[in-house]
Copies of this chain bind each other. A is one copy, B any other.
Amino acid sequence: MPFTNRITKLFKIELPIIQAGMVWVSGWELASAVSNAGGLGIIGAGSMYPDVLRIHIQKTKAATSKPFAVNLPMLYPDLLAHINIIIEEKVPIVFMSAGNPKTWTSTLKAAGCVVVHVVSSTLFAQKAADAGCDAIVAEGFEAGGHNGRDETTTMVLVPLIKKTVSIPVIAAGGIATGHQMLAAFALGAEGVQIGSRFVCTNESSAHINFKNAILYSKEGDTQLGLRSLAPVRLLKNDFAKAILALEKEGASSATLSEQLGKGRAKKGMFEGDMQEGELEIGQVSALMDQIQPAKEIVQEIWNDFTAAVNQLKKMPIQKEV
């Protein structure tokens, strides 16, 4: 093992690098590739009908003998069916998000799953710890996709949550390199969850138009929108600009819901409509410039992390003051 800490032991993985579960992006191909590379791959169940989720779990099992996880956002109607499939298929690890940790943690734990909850505040971190979760993902404002209302960034959120809970904390939001991973560890994280960078892999099911749009995106090209519904970080295309303009004019939630409509995320991220689709991505997209195999990304991040640690070790600190 190149490394051990509470996170690698909890998940029985080699490297504390976790690929975020992402709707329309992280199916069995990406999840198994990341797990095979020594990290933790996650199937994003949020965009899957129950029978589709079952197929992705079975294909992941066939493609890797290593641990993997399913991410389950609690805001979709098929939740109960998803939970049953996860238990039937003996998925070893579940990442829950967008809901109350109390609701399902004990059921999943009783079925033998390791349970992690994704939170954006210490309030929910505490709730997750109280509910018996094994670890927490602390997701900062810079992260892609759905996001907290307090807008607390990774730099501030991770130390706040570390002060509050004793279970291991995985940092998410603003992490795409080993240097950023080291920053997260300096803040107290014991693992990192990385979304955006894994969108631009050969194995992700994101449409090639979306992958290319990320590579060309620059600083300031994402913005948090739909604050009055469920805040989400969007790449600023025609759809996002229309939403942001409506919000600036003080539009009601109903108007925003209507503008959003149904199937926007699929249209954008999966079908490749770069004008009218919803494109969820993090601020780190500005740092990314190539599509790579997932394995290469895991290795690059780890090697960059070890190099950054070695750099820090050489810092000429003589003494305390």
Q: List the interface of chain A (C-beta within 8 A of B).
A: 1-5, 14-15, 38, 121-123, 140-142, 149-157, 159-160, 163, 173-175, 177, 179-180, 182-188, 219-220, 223-224, 248-251, 283-284, 286-287, 298-299, 302-303, 306, 308-309, 312-313, 315-321
Contact = CB atoms under 8 A, between A and B. Distances in A.
Contact of A2 (B122, B140, B142, B317): B317
A220 B149 contact: yes
A287 B220 contact: no
Given A153-B173, A183-B187, 13 more contacts: A150-B220, A155-B175, A157-B219, A179-B186, A180-B186, A182-B183, A182-B312, A183-B184, A303-B320, A303-B321, A306-B317, A306-B319, A313-B313
B38 A321 contact: yes
Given A220-B152, A320-B302, A286 B160 contact: yes
B3 A318 contact: yes
B160 A142 contact: no
16 contacts: A2-B321, A5-B315, A122-B219, A141-B153, A142-B152, A151-B220, A151-B223, A152-B283, A156-B219, A159-B179, A182-B183, A183-B187, A186-B186, A250-B250, A299-B321, A313-B313
Contacts of A150: 219-220
How many of these chains are in the complex?
A: 2
B156 A287 contact: yes
B316 A3 contact: yes
A148 B207 CA distance: 32
A307 to B, nearest CB: 8
B249 A312 contact: no
A303 B318 CA distance: 11
A182 to B, nearest CB: 4
B155 A180 contact: yes
A160 B38 contact: no
Contact of A140 (B122, B155, B315): B155
A309 to B, nearest CB: 6
Contacts of A251: 250
